[in-house]
Amino acid sequence: MKILTPTQLGKAAFQKYVDWRRGNRPAEKRCYKTTDTILLTFDDYASADQTNRLIDILAAAKVRAMFFFQGDWAIDHSDLIEQFREAGHIIGNHTFSHQDLRTLTDEQVTSEVNRQPVAQPWFRPPYGSYDRRVRSILAGLGYVICYWSVDSYDWAEGATSKSIFDRVTSRLHPGAVILLHAHRDATIEILPELIAEIRRQGYQLDTFSDPAWSPKA
Ligand SMILES: [Zn+2]
């Protein structure tokens, strides 16, 4: 990534840019962590095989991750969700049927959130799509939004283990929240090396021995 200089940006903008590079991002993009640990998050769904591989890799590396599953999958796979939970990972709500919440009525948003069998407080909006109205409905239901600060683009057509690795490892910053998908084999294949490279760059990942954190009221 090209480092900009104060003359290119102006002083105030440069300070903002330095803060951004240091990871001083809004609470939602840090998933409300107050520490500089890096958090891996995995969305949507996983097969039984992918579940086992993810749990094994994360256990070997002692990394605690966050999983946001969609409810229409979760309902038939409570056994897999229980495996993630028992392994010590954090489970969040990713709505029932993965629709763009901004296009739904208040009642539909509420139903999409409540039909998902997950306890509060973590919520990740499908497609990262939300606005003030959606956020306030979520708050009323006891949820906060856990967004991300680094998108691996593993969801994109043609994404490879290498493209995922390169994209994530060139964008790391203190407190990063990394968006990954549990159903992408390319992501699971590169995960051990990704974890190793994050640590090689001097960052700490969220681990099972770190205290739980929660959004401040
Ligand atoms: Zn999703």
48: phi > 0 → left, psi -120 to 50 → alpha, else beta; which?
A: alpha
State residue 124's pLDDT score. 97
Euclidean distance between CA atoms 125 and 137, whole angstroms: 12
pLDDT per residue over 97-151, tens digit each?
A: 999 999 999 999 999 999 987 778 999 999 999 999 999 999 999 999 999 999 9
State residue 23's pLDDT score. 78
Q: What is the token pair recorded at 37?
A: 């640990």
| pLDDT exceeds cutoff 90 at 11 | no
Q: Cα of 44 to ligand 1 centre, how many Å?
A: 5
Euclidean distance between CA atoms 65 and 198, whole angstroms: 14
Burial status of residue 79 (CB atoms within 10 A of its CB: 0-12, 13-18, 19 or more): exposed
Burial status of residue 72 (CB atoms within 10 A of its CB: 0-12, 13-18, 19 or more): middle
Q: Cα of 210 to ligand 1 centre, how many Å?
A: 26
Euclidean distance between CA atoms 73 and 70, whole angstroms: 6
Grouping H, G, I as helix, E, B as strand and the rest as coil, residue 74 is helix
**Which residue has better confidence, 145 or 16?**
145
Contact between 114 and 141 (Cβ < 8 Å) = yes
**Which residue has better confidence, 191 or 6?**
191
pLDDT per residue over 30-57, tens digit each?
A: 999 999 999 999 999 999 999 999 999 9
- The domain segmentation of the chain, as residue ranges, is 26-200
CATH architecture of 26-200: Alpha-Beta Barrel (3.20)
Mean pLDDT of the chain: 93
Contact between 123 and 145 (Cβ < 8 Å) = yes
| pLDDT exceeds cutoff 60 at 217 | no
Q: What is the token pair recorded at 130?
A: 């939300």
| pLDDT exceeds cutoff 60 at 67 | yes
Q: Cα of 154 to ligand 1 centre, how many Å?
A: 12
What is the mean pLDDT of the segment spanning 9-31?
85
Q: How confident is the model at residue 1 (pLDDT cuts 50, 70, 90)?
A: low
- Residue among 155, 158, 156, 161 nearest 183 (CA): 155
Q: Cα of 133 to ligand 1 centre, how many Å?
A: 20
Q: Cα of 126 to ligand 1 centre, how many Å?
A: 5
Q: Residues within 5 Å of ion ligand 1 by Cβ?
A: 43-44, 126
